[in-house]
Amino acid sequence: MDNRILMLRQLFNELNSKNDISGFGKAIEFYIATGYDEFLTIEEIKEELENYSNNLPTRADFTHYFDNVITNGYLTHSFNGYMLDHYKRNGIGAKLDDSELTENFAILEKYLGVSHYVARYAKTIPEFYVTSPGNNSIYYALMQSPERLWHGPLSQRDEENPVLPVVGETKSQYAMRIIEDKIAKRNLSDEEADVVRKSARILFDKLCTTNPIIAFIPIRLLMESYVLKSGIFYKSLDGYPEMDYVRETGKTLQDYLCNQKYFNAETKQVDSTFFCKNFGGDWDRSELDDISVLGTIIPFDNVETIEFEDSFSVVQRMMKQWGVEDGTLFDFNKVLLTYYYYGQPKEKIVSESYESEKTSLGRKY
C-alpha cells in the first residue's frame, strides 16, 4: 500500500465530513508530486504545495520529483462502483460481460435515446479513460455515471423544463421520475411504458446504488499501452455546439507523454501541465486528460483506490443539514459545484440555488 494514498483517503474522509473538498485536487497533486507520507491538514498542504512549486524550477536535482510523478506515479481512472467486483476479478480494462445490463440498455436506448458518446463511435476493442491525478480525478468521480446512461436515456440537455431533484429522494427515485417524464412526452403505449419502466428499474438497481471509485493506476504499467487522445471540436458557438470527437492516431503512452513534452526522461524534468489544474475537462488539450487506453488490462492488485461518496447523496445530505424541507426542488449542479469549489454556508446556497426566481426553484414538489 502506497502511504501517499492512505493519507489521501484519510484527508478525503475528513473534508467530506465537513461538506468541503475544495482543496482535495491540490492535495492529490501534493502527495503524488512530493512523496510526502505524513498527514497534513488542507491548509498545511496548500502552503507546502505553493512553496514546493515555487522552488522546483531552481532545484538542481529533479530526480526525486520525476520518480514520484513518473517512475512511481499514477494516472487515475474514475468509475461507477458497480464495476468494482468485475475489476477485482478481471482487472481494469477487461470488458464487462453482463447480458442483463446490455439487454436493458438496448431497451431504454430504443425508446428514450442513445448517448452521443455511443452514437459518435463504436468501441471495437476494450478501452478505459485516464487522467493525471488531481482536479479531474475528482470531477469524473463526482459526475453521474455511467455516461451511457446519464448522457443517453436520462439526458435532459435539450429539455425546456427538465425534471429537477427534490430533497429527500434517492438517486434511483430521481432517475425514475425522469423516465416517467420522458414516457409522457413520447406518448408511449401502456405496454411500451411498462417495458421501459422494468428495464429502468433493473439498470438503476445496478448503477444508481453504489459509490464511485477513483483508481490510481501506476504509470509504469501503462507506458507500453497504445492510447488515443480524445477531445472535442466545436463547429458552432451558438447555443449548444455540434460536437465532433477528435481521436488522434494510436501511439504508446510513453511516446505520447514524451512527444507532448509532459516529461523528459533524460533531464528528469516534468512539465507543469502534467497535473490538470482545471475542473471539468481539458478542452484546450494542453493538460494530461481524457486519454483512452486501448486493449490493456491492469490487474487490480496493482491498483490503489479511494472510494468517494456518491455526489447525489452528498448533495442530499447537505440540504438536510441546512434544514431544507423534504420535497423542495433544487439545482443539483449548483449545489454540487459549490461543494467542490467553496463549501459555502447555507445562506449562499439558498440565495443562489434553490430559491432563485429566475429558475423557479425553491417550490415544493
Q: How far apart are the C-alpha atoms of 235 and 252, rounded to whole Å? A: 29
Question: Residue 247: inside a domain, yes or no?
Answer: no
Give the model confidence (pLDDT) of 103-154 as tens digits: 999 999 999 988 766 655 445 556 888 999 988 888 888 888 888 898 889 9
Domain count along the chain:
3
Q: How far apart are the C-alpha atoms of 338 and 340, rounded to whole Å? A: 5
- Give the pLDDT of residue 241: 41
Shared-domain flag, residues 93 and 203: yes
Q: How high does pLDDT run on average in the chain?
A: 81
Of all helices (H) and strands (E), which one includes residue 135?
Answer: helix 135-142
Q: Residue 232: which pLDDT band, with cuts at 50, 70 and 90? A: very low
Q: Region of 231 please: left (phi>0), alpha (psi -120 to 50) or beta.
A: beta
- Give the pLDDT of residue 246: 47
Q: Residue 4: which pLDDT band, with cuts at 50, 70 and 90? A: very high
What percentage of the chain carries pLDDT values higher than 90? 37
Question: Residue 308: inside a domain, yes or no?
Answer: no
Q: What is the pTM of this model?
A: 0.86
Shared-domain flag, residues 181 and 110: yes
Shared-domain flag, residues 122 and 155: yes
Q: Which three cell numbers stand for residue 249?
A: 492516431
Shared-domain flag, residues 46 and 86: no
Q: Choose the final residue of a domain: 194, 212, 230.
A: 212
Give the model confidence (pLDDT) of 44-62 as tens digits: 887 887 776 666 544 445 6
Q: How far apart are the C-alpha atoms of 57 and 59, rounded to whole Å? A: 6
Cβ neighbours for 82, distance < 8 A, ≥ 6 positions apart: 206, 207, 210
Residue (of 90, 33, 84, 104) closest to 275 by Cα position = 33
Check if the beta carbon of residue 292 is closer than 8 Å to that of residue 230: yes
pLDDT above 60: residue 228: yes
More confident residue, 28 or 280: 28
Residue range(s) defining the domain that contains residue 341:
324-365
Shared-domain flag, residues 99 and 55: no
More confident residue, 53 or 295: 295
Shared-domain flag, residues 207 and 87: yes
Shared-domain flag, residues 204 and 88: yes
Shared-domain flag, residues 177 and 54: no
Check if the beta carbon of residue 138 is closer than 8 Å to that of residue 279: yes
pLDDT above 80: residue 284: no
Shared-domain flag, residues 112 and 43: no
Check if the beta carbon of residue 290 is closer than 8 Å to that of residue 192: no
Question: Residue 229: inside a domain, yes or no?
Answer: no
Q: How far apart are the C-alpha atoms of 49 and 204, rounded to whole Å? A: 41
**SS (HEC) of 211-263:** CCEEEEEEHHHCCCCEEEEEEEEECCCCCCCCEEEEECCCEEHHHHHHHCCCE
Q: Which three cell numbers stand for residue 264?
A: 523528459
Question: Residue 293: inside a domain, yes or no?
Answer: no
Tally Cβ neighbours within 10 Å of residue 34: 18
Give the model confidence (pLDDT) of 189-220 as tens digits: 999 999 999 999 999 999 999 999 999 999 99
Q: Choose the final residue of a domain: 187, 212, 237.
A: 212
Shared-domain flag, residues 196 and 117: yes
Question: Residue 260: inside a domain, yes or no?
Answer: no
Question: Residue 137: inside a domain, yes or no?
Answer: no
Shared-domain flag, residues 37 and 102: no
Shared-domain flag, residues 45 and 85: no
Give the model confidence (pLDDT) of 309-359 as tens digits: 898 998 898 888 888 889 988 888 777 776 665 555 555 555 455 444 334
Q: Choose the final residue of a domain: 159, 184, 212.
A: 212
Question: Residue 242: inside a domain, yes or no?
Answer: no
Check if the beta carbon of residue 336 is closer than 8 Å to that of residue 315: yes
Question: Residue 28: inside a domain, yes or no?
Answer: yes
